[in-house]
Structure 1
Amino acid sequence: MQGHISGTYVRLLFEWLNDRGHHAEHVLQRPCPELDERIRIPFEDWRAMLERTYQVTHDPFFGLDVGSRITPRHLGVLGYVSYSCNTLGEALLRLQRFEDLVHAVNDLKVSFEGDLVLLQWGAELGVTGEFADQTAQSVLVSYVRYLISPEFSPVWMSFINPTPSSVKPYEDFFRCPVRFESNYTTMAFPALWLAKPVAKPDPVLRDILDRQAENLLQQLPANDEFVDALRHAIHAAIHAATPNLDVVAMRMHCSPRTLQRRLDERGLKFQVLLDDARLQLAKRYLSKAGTSLSEIALLLGYAEQSAFNHAFKRWTGVTPKVWREKNAAIVASW
Structure 2
Amino acid sequence: MNQDIFCGFSGTSGSYLLALTKSAEKVYGISSDHLLQMTSLNPDSFGHEYHVVPVFYLANIISQLVNLTGDRMVGLKLAQHISLRAFDTLGYLLMHCETIGEGLQRIQRFEKLVMEHSVTQIESADGLTQVSWNFDYNNDCVRYFRELIISGWVSMVQRMTQHKLPLHSIHFSHSNPWENTEKEQSALEEYEAIYGCPVVFNSTWTGACFEEQYMSLSYGQADPRLKAIMEEYAELMLSNLDSHQSFIHHAKVTIFKQLLNGETGFDSFAELMHLSTRALQARFQKLGVTYGDLLDEIRRMLSLIYLEDTGISSLEIGMLLAYNDQSSFARAFKRWTGHTPKQYKEKVEQHRSYYAQMHLEDEDELQTAKI
TM-score interval w.r.t. the shorter chain? 0.5 to 0.7
Compared CA separation, residues 133 and 180, structure 1 to 2 (3 A): same
SS across alignment from 1:52: helix
Compared CA separation, residues 70 and 123, structure 1 to 2 (3 A): closer
Look up the equivalent residue of 1:146 and give its one-letter code: R
Give the conservation status (yes or no) of the 8 Å contact 1:84–1:201. yes
Distance 1:174 1:219 in 2: 37
Which of the numbers 108, 113, 136 marks the counterpart of 2:149?
136
Which of the numbers 17, 23, 34 marks the counterpart of 1:16?
23
Which of the numbers 4, 21, 27 marks the counterpart of 2:35?
27
TM-score, length-normalised on structure 1? 0.62
Tell me the residue number matched to 1:217.
238
Cα deviation per residue 1:89-114 (whole Å; 9 max; x = unaligned)? 11111111111111223311111231
Compared CA separation, residues 98 and 179, structure 1 to 2 (3 A): same
Which of the numbers 88, 92, 106 marks the counterpart of 1:76?
88
Which of the numbers 188, 206, 228 marks the counterpart of 1:167?
188
Which runs of structure 2 are paired with 1:165-314 in the superposition (5 Å)?
165=178, 166-220=187-241
Give the conservation status (yes or no) of the 8 Å contact 2:79–2:149. yes
Q: Does 1:100 align with 2:109?
A: no
Distance 1:36 1:220 in 2: 20
Which entry has the higher C-alpha Rg, 1 or 2?
2
Give the conservation status (yes or no) of the 8 Å contact 1:64–1:135. yes
Distance 1:37 1:6 in 2: 11
Look up the equivalent residue of 2:56 and give its one-letter code: E
Deviation at 1:34, TM superposition (A): 2.7
Which of the numbers 13, 17, 20 marks the counterpart of 1:6?
13
Compared CA separation, residues 183 and 138, structure 1 to 2 (3 A): same
Q: Which moved more, 1:198-207 or 1:99-108?
A: 99-108
SS across alignment from 2:192: helix
Tell me the residue number matched to 1:322.
none
Could you tell me the percent identity over the aligned residues?
24
Which of the numbers 45, 48, 58 marks the counterpart of 2:60?
48
Look up the equivalent residue of 2:197 and give its one-letter code: C
Cα deviation per residue 1:116-175 (whole Å; 9 max; x = unaligned)? 111112455546612111111111111111221331132111111122212223212211
Distance 2:220 2:80 in 1: 18
Q: CA RMSD in A?
A: 2.5
Number of residue-to-residue matches in the alignment? 228
Q: Unaligned regions of 5+ residues in structure 1, if any?
A: 229-334
**Per residue, is there more helix in 1 or in 2?**
2
Deviation at 1:37, TM superposition (A): 7.7
SS across alignment from 1:151: coil
Distance 1:227 1:73 in 2: 27
Q: Unaligned regions of 5+ residues in structure 2, if any?
A: 179-186, 251-371
Tell me the residue number matched to 1:153.
166
Distance 2:106 2:125 in 1: 21
Look up the equivalent residue of 2:159 and give its one-letter code: Y
